[in-house]
Amino acid sequence: MIVVMKPGATSEQVQHVVDLVRDFGLKDHVIRGTDRTVIACIGDKRAVDKGAIENATMVEQVVPILAPYKMASTEVKNTRTEVCIGPKKFPVGGKKIGIVAGPCSIESRDQLLRTAEACAKAGAIGLRGGAYKPRTSPYSFQGLREEGLRICEEARDLTGLAIVTEAIGVEELTHVSQSCDVVQIGARNMQNYPLLEAAGRQPKPVLLKRGPSAKLEEWLLAAEYIINAGNPNIILCERGIRTYEDYVRNTLPLAVVPELRERTHLPVMVDPSHGTGHAHLVPPMCQASVACGCDGLLLEVHPDPEHALSDGAQSITPQALVDIMAVLGRIANAVGREM
């Protein structure tokens, strides 16, 4: 349930309600808005004396949270969350749409630094690149691991881009959290609950990809695990789902973007690279994503896609990124956003 305080409630009056809520065995999350404070109360409500809370000074009303995902829901917070990322603190979820671009895998120092410079020049706000790769086959390239993270740090120093890289397990998360600006939780790990909880206990924002077979509600409950463990800075990323269709690698269900904007205050990015699997489909799906309200795009960019060690077929070139950015600016303006 949510306790809505009247405008002007003092911090002592809020604290009094928090103490009451804790007395009833519930966990509290205080959310201070511009004109009023709300206290989201999570836990078993059966032993709660709702009247006692309603009668506390400056309480306006006590309302139930209907969605199963509580803290991620717009029922608890109806203003958009801005997740600030990287050395420049770019606010993902604000008016400006942020592009995070870079290779699927970090293959070498030269490859990452060259790509980073090109992406920064094209107007990206972040650099993606996997140091630890969750590959379908154990014989495929598995990533440069810690060496890849050192190269990421160098790329950030060179360009000022926010580094977004994946943690494939709890052990890797420790290293990723220390080096990068945003911890990516990949599609295959969306329901790895110990990893979600560990991501909730570390300080960096989390980019949470949708599992290829996860429903929207399961995805938001995965985000809830991270918030519940202590980290509210989550960016959701749609990367396509598994369907019977095989002209694409995954089916990219863009209706999820406006649906998420109704259900959650968390920012939403789209990854049209994994969402289609084909470089020629990436530019039009970038346009569609911006048109339907995404807060950012995650794009695979490689200086030489034909020789990429992973996901070459869906990687665009740095020049294609420059071309996309020009078109996206016009679409963003048409829907009240900016690039």
In total, the chain counts a number of residues equal to: 339
Angstrom distance (rounded) from CA 239 to CA 241: 7
Q: Which is nearer to Mn ion, 38 or 104 (CB)?
A: 104
Near ligand PEP by CB under 6 A: residue from 130, 200, 205, 267: 130
Helices and strands of the chain, counted as H and E runs: 11, 14
Contact 89/78 with Cβ under 8 angstroms?
no
Start-to-end C-alpha separation, the chain:
38
Residue 209 contact, options ligand PEP, Mn ion, none, Cβ 5-8 Å cut-off depending on partner type: ligand PEP
Q: How far is the CB of 70 from ligand PEP (least distance, A)?
A: 26
Question: Pick from 134, 253, 293, 312: which binds ligand PEP (CB under 6 A)?
Answer: 134
Residue 279 CA, distance from chain mean position:
23
Indicate the DSSP class of residue 26: -
Residue 143 interacts with which of Mn ion, ligand PEP, none, CB < 5 to 8 Å by class: none
Minimum Å gap between C-beta 278 and Mn ion is 13
Q: Nearest distance from residue 89's CB to ligand PEP, in Å?
A: 23
Residue for token pair 């154990």 = 138
Q: How far is the CB of 239 from ligand PEP (least distance, A)?
A: 4
Binding to ligand PEP by CB under 6 A, coded x per residue (else -) over 176-195, reads ----------xxx-------
Q: Least separation, in Å, of the C-beta of 234 and ligand PEP?
A: 15
Question: Quick one: 89 or 242, whose CB is closer to Mn ion?
Answer: 242
Nearest to 251 by CA among 275, 270, 232: 275
User: CB-wise, 9 or 222, nearer to ligand PEP?
Assistant: 222
Residues 259-298 as x/- pattern, contact with ligand PEP by CB under 6 A: ---------------x------------------------
The residue within the footprint of Mn ion, chosen from 2, 38, 97, 104 (CB under 5 A), is 104
Token digits of residue 31:
């959310």
Residue with nearest beta carbon to ligand PEP: 186
Range 282-311, binding Mn ion (CB under 5 A) = 311
Examine residue 271 and tell whether it contacts Mn ion (CB under 5 A): no
CB-side exposure of 141: number of CA atoms within 13 Å?
Answer: 16
Separation CA 275–CA 270 (nearest Å):
8
- Angle (CA) 42-205-96 rounded to 5° is 110
DSSP state of 281: G
Among 17, 104, 220, 324, binds ligand PEP (CB under 6 A): 104
Give which of 300, 295, 321, 177 is closest to 237, Cα–Cα: 295
Helices 146-159/170-179 angle, 10° precision:
20
Residues near ligand PEP (CB under 6 A) are 104, 130, 134, 186-188, 209, 239, 274
